[in-house]
A and B are shown apart, each in its own frame.
Chain A
């Protein structure tokens, strides 16, 4: 068993680009579900719009990289408006259905044969971030102790502070009267309306804000491999984001980061650990595990852990048990 490898690999995942973009996506979802009570089941749609907005603007329309970033973010605001205008006046379950469907619609449109010339089809789009990586001051490496590649270090040096900024904005907003209205809407929208707040507009602002965070996640995702692929933004993206948010603790400012680092870290740890254990012959013959099944077994393990967490710690890692108790009253 190579424990150095196991730990390094776990650390690379836990603090690498994957944990970073799931933290961003979950921070957005936390605004929607955690604070406002908007049941968004299509966070992948915002990620896809951010990533594709960037990639398509650069590759198909020749927009400079930095301007294209804004197109990606702007795209998520437009998407929030399109989703929100018809549904935010209705009960929250309608939004859940619409967002779930919208994410699939976007995925199917970008992978369609018809628009392959513009959107890249099933092959996706590649190499749109050269302008970004050209500014990379890091070279050589590997950067110890986690041994990231130089381009990864550059991306992370930009992306983790972005996560910090997102959390700071969340913190500032949620301690303010604006955040009070948002949380009150989650508790009872009619009561808030009767007190003179335009809840429709507040919900729209929340949808846009969380959507922009989601688009940032999509952009970091795309930049981490200089590639966008339609199937990266399937329901799997949405549900991992949801799991990360719940794991960290809903409606907690740093919950998404804690959830993401732990979730992605544990996933990678199990992957490497199980492979090593099998290679070292530590798994007895009667246990039906082999190297080819590791990828699935670790997901089963994570699933069971999440179920246990919901039973014994429904408030998540950072949540407050009292809040759950009051909910259940």
Chain B
């Protein structure tokens, strides 16, 4: 596995949960979400560095996706608030979150099956005059804007090697192509922060390399990336910073190399064999941690229906 040299800011700050970043784009303060008796998310403090790739890892049920849902307005927290680009986004509905420059993808790929690839892309553009009911009736009002959007979509499709299928139904694409489409579509929003929920799940090795390159390109283009991933090779490869969630709480933070050696993380998620470089086998842990170990064993995402097609 290749480990990128950590950026200088990452070396300069302590590797501990909730540590302040020099230039945070996202600041989460005391967010918790309870499902019945289960405290799914309980994050005291979390900052995400602007322009960096931050990985969010942790066993299944750790609350990673729930945290995504909360931050993007798809779920409401019981408590807490968060600032995105110095703006309080707590309580802001999902569709408005996107307008503020924060866009997410989903664990189960949500390609819009009966729209063509190009229509999927064009949907992502914000501020479209033709999306208003009365304006929609008159093409002259939105025709030119539509052309501009189509050109922008064409450039992205080219980058993601989807241009040749632009007129196919999205539902006719392979699982991997749909992952690419979903990411490209999110970029049509022109976001500052891209949140990817398991972008590599169910993707073959060759495509994985291409997706990795795309994620790195996002950083090069000045975007911030926060992503959930179980594939540790991917995490080591592309992330500048890793946040580890277990049972809703942040148990560790640091650059990827430091995280791999962190005993807490090994206990809760990675297993000892992984830390020794021996792959993903489960570690031998004390009996009190057996439950968590089981969860860690399920850490690889299950094959998902539509992606398996």
Which A residues lie at the B interface, using CB under 8 A? Answer: 169, 172-173, 175-181, 183-184, 186-188, 190-199, 205, 322-323, 326-327, 329
Contacts and interface: CB of A to CB of B under 8 A. Distances in A.
Nearest to A196: B98
B74 interface: yes
Contacts of B136: 172-173, 176-179
Given A194-B94, A195-B123, A173 B112 contact: no
Closest 7 CB pairs of A and B: A196-B98, A178-B136, A177-B130, A176-B136, A191-B110, A326-B171, A187-B112
A178 B98 contact: no
Contacts of A327: 113-114, 171
Interface string B93-120: 1111111000111100011111100011
Contact of A178 (B97, B99, B132, B185): B132
Majority SS at the chain A contact face: helix
Contact of B130 (A178, A191, A193, A199): A178
A197 B185 CA distance: 14
B137 interface: yes
A178 B134 CA distance: 9
Interface residues of B, number: 47
A251 to B, nearest CB: 8
Contacts of B111: 191
Contact of A326 (B95, B169, B182): B169
B74 A190 contact: yes
A300 B106 CA distance: 47
B259 interface: no
Given A190-B74, A196-B95, A177 B128 contact: yes
A329 B122 CA distance: 24
A100 B106 CA distance: 33
Contacts of B186: 194-195
A323 B74 contact: no
Nearest to B141: A176
24 contacts: A169-B137, A172-B139, A175-B139, A176-B130, A176-B136, A176-B137, A176-B139, A177-B122, A177-B131, A178-B130, A178-B135, A183-B115, A184-B115, A191-B182, A193-B94, A193-B98, A194-B98, A195-B103, A195-B126, A195-B185, A196-B99, A326-B114, A329-B113, A329-B306
B103 A173 contact: no
Contacts of B309: 329
Contacts of B113: 187, 326-327, 329
B39 interface: no
B115 A187 contact: yes
B56 interface: no
Given A195-B185, A205-B133, A188 B119 contact: no
Contacts of A197: 95, 123, 131
Given A181-B123, A183-B115, A195 B98 contact: yes
A180 B137 contact: no
A176 B186 CA distance: 20
Nearest to A198: B95
A197 to B, nearest CB: 6
Contacts of B169: 322-323, 326
Contacts of A192: 112, 123
A191 B185 CA distance: 10
A195 B128 CA distance: 12
B121 to A, nearest CB: 10
B104 A194 contact: yes
Nearest to B149: A177
Nearest to B143: A176
A188 B111 CA distance: 8
A194 B139 contact: no
